[in-house]
Amino acid sequence: MAKPAVLIGVDWGTSAFRAFLLDAEGGVLDRRAGSHGILTVTDGDFGRVLSSQVGDWLKARAVPILMSGMIGSRQGWIEAPYVPCPGGLADLAGGLVTVSLARTPIHVVPGMEVSSPSMRDVMRGEETQVFGALTTLGGADGGRFLLPGTHSKWVRVSGGRIMSFSTYMTGEIYAACRDHTILGRLMQDGESEAAFARGVSDGARPGTPGALLHRLFGARTAGLFGEIPGSDLPDYLSGLLIGAEVFDAGLNDDTAVHIIASEALARRYRAAAAKLGLTTAVLDPDCVAAGHLAIARAARLLPM
Amino acid sequence: MAKPAVLIGVDWGTSAFRAFLLDAEGGVLDRRAGSHGILTVTDGDFGRVLSSQVGDWLKARAVPILMSGMIGSRQGWIEAPYVPCPGGLADLAGGLVTVSLARTPIHVVPGMEVSSPSMRDVMRGEETQVFGALTTLGGADGGRFLLPGTHSKWVRVSGGRIMSFSTYMTGEIYAACRDHTILGRLMQDGESEAAFARGVSDGARPGTPGALLHRLFGARTAGLFGEIPGSDLPDYLSGLLIGAEVFDAGLNDDTAVHIIASEALARRYRAAAAKLGLTTAVLDPDCVAAGHLAIARAARLLPM
């Protein structure tokens, strides 16, 4: 007999929507996923979209809903102010902001912020994935986590609290360079592990931050002189940027890095990390559901 | 009485066209400038454009034409293969490629290339500006030169030869970030010297190349938290990138840097360099005409 549902966890980002119907053990009874990211909800009627996705689950049994991601940003349903680092499950639970859909309470997880003397950094949604990953790893209370993508996040956890994190605009700079600079001119569609590896080597050399502005031009000249074929240039550029990122973020200690990412993206980062001597393990992004359950439990939203 | 014309020098780049009617002393008897960059000559009829610009000069007196810049690239009139570093006036003169317009010979200056173990670098047009600058500086045979812009060039000259140079994609990355990433979202039109200076400080700190991918995100969070107003963000981002460039390229020695640039762009780089303790002087880009004359003389194109 199936265990009863106790929570609906929703990871609602800029471009994607994922919902999980969860039992008290974190088992996923049902799931929904689509491209209804918050940017697609142009009329601001997030309730309508949510109903269309999970309304049937609610009809069967009224359970609370916990949402993480950009849905809690100024551009989302309601803004949930950032919780500062270091912060753990209790801090996220204490920062929940609540709206309602018909008579169902909807709890929105806050993002997190961290300040260094030179800059602030923020995330929304990744904190829930990280706490889910800790559960998935058998209740670990520390480690290093990497959530690669448009804005890669490197997150450090200790004693059950997120101590600090750093964002790298790697994916977005890749796309901007490819589509909107001279680097894209000689590029053709194609894939090449060798070109990616060469890019990692070139990107992961020592230098100062400005050297990146110089090395990027190397993706132009290597194409110009026919040293790298046009169809290999996209992966060379990808390697150059990911190599620079992993070299900067990854090599300050030798703790293993848990990569939370889809298989294709994780493979890319694993290859770069391995080339640089870093140990990695990969976790499925669906671990976010375990994070929803852990936060809901910390907020006493579930039956005891 | 005006001295007779001996040469027409043309600096024909991607987006701009500048021509100078020169006497044997390098005096500019007349000049033409416009936005007829090679990208605007979609039918490839460069001769027609050149005639429309300098035809009247040729009617008055037949003199050779020397052209530098992207007109000598694969996308230009005729490709003039790159001359390797180190290279001086004699090398450029030896690499001239010739076409003709009616019966006027047109000599095209080659670009230059330099190879390091990790990447190749190229320039076209800047070499002629640098040799013009040396003349303008009273016949100097060495120094450091900076030609900022979409693709900033840092050029080192010794013993009358260009020894090496480095390209930084600073201007193009700025535009791509502003117009095609999340960094542009909070930006409004505006200028702020203070925000530029703060950007320079943040960009010119030590770190590895990948740190730039992290620091760029600071232009987002500073806007998000209202630490930098939207109208100051463009100059903050500009300072961040220029600071990183100058820190990487400029601080390896304390030789003064000659900046060849328009006044507005030169002011920006001077401010960044001064903040980092670097001595600079500014030269007008029209010094390129003196470079045309020097190369023409080295190629024995002028009456002795």
Residues A37-51 pLDDT 10s: 999 999 999 999 999
Task: Say which DSSP state A159 is in.
Answer: T
- A207: burial class by Cβ within 10 Å (0-12, 13-18, 19+)? buried
Residues A51-62: what's their mean pLDDT? Answer: 92
Distance CA(B126)–CA(A37), nearest Å, equals 47
Pairing relationship of beta strands A161-168 and A87-88 according to DSSP bridges: antiparallel
Q: Supply the DSSP string of B12-29, one letter for each residue.
A: E-SS-EEEEEEETTS-EE
A10, A66 Cβ separation under 8 angstroms:
yes
CA angle A278, A119, B274 (to 5 degrees): 105
Q: Which residues share a beta bridge with B5? A: B23
Interface probe for B, chosen from A123, A169, A182, A240 (most Cβ of B below 10 Å), is A169
- Within 221-240 of A, beta carbons closer than 8 Å to B belong to 221-222, 224-225, 227
A103, A75 Cβ separation under 8 angstroms:
no
Q: Is the pLDDT of residue B49 over 70?
A: yes
φ, ψ dihedrals at B267, nearest 5°: -60, -45
Distance CA(B10)–CA(B31), nearest Å, equals 10
| Contacts B119 to A, Cβ<8 Å | 202, 215, 217-218, 221-222
Nearest to B245 by CA among B180, B182, B130, B166: B166
Across the interface, whether the CB atoms of B202 and A151 are under 8 A apart is answered no
Report how far apart the first and last C-alpha atoms of chain B are (Å, whole number): 21
Q: What is the ipTM of this complex?
A: 0.96
Residues A204-247 pLDDT 10s: 999 999 999 999 999 999 999 999 999 999 999 999 999 999 99
Q: Quote the tokens at residue B18.
A: 């500048």
Distance CA(B57)–CA(B67), nearest Å, equals 15
Q: Does B118 touch chain A (CB under 8 A)?
A: yes
Q: Is the pLDDT of residue A1 over 70?
A: no
The pTM for the full model equals 0.95
A44, A101 Cβ separation under 8 angstroms:
no
Please give, rounded to a whole number of angstroms, the shortest distance from the CA of A125 to a CA of chain B.
16
Q: Quote the tokens at residue B279.
A: 């001595």
A280, A260 Cβ separation under 8 angstroms:
no
Please give, rounded to a whole number of angstroms, the shortest distance from the CA of A86 to a CA of chain B.
18
- A211: burial class by Cβ within 10 Å (0-12, 13-18, 19+)? buried
Q: Which of the pair, A94 or B60, is modelled with greater confidence?
A: A94
A303 confidence band (pLDDT: 50, 70, 90): confident
B60, B3 Cβ separation under 8 angstroms:
no
Pairing relationship of beta strands A152-158 and A161-168 according to DSSP bridges: antiparallel
Please give, rounded to a whole number of angstroms, the shortest distance from the CA of A17 to a CA of chain B.
20
Residues A173-213 pLDDT 10s: 999 999 999 999 999 999 999 999 999 999 999 999 999 99
Query: For residue A302, how far is the Cα from the chain centroid?
Result: 26
Query: For residues B122, B126, B132 and B137, what is the CA-based torsion angle, rounded to 10 degrees?
Result: -90
Q: Is the pLDDT of residue B304 over 70?
A: no
Across the interface, whether the CB atoms of A118 and B202 are under 8 A apart is answered yes
Query: For residue A179, how far is the Cα from the chain centroid?
Result: 23
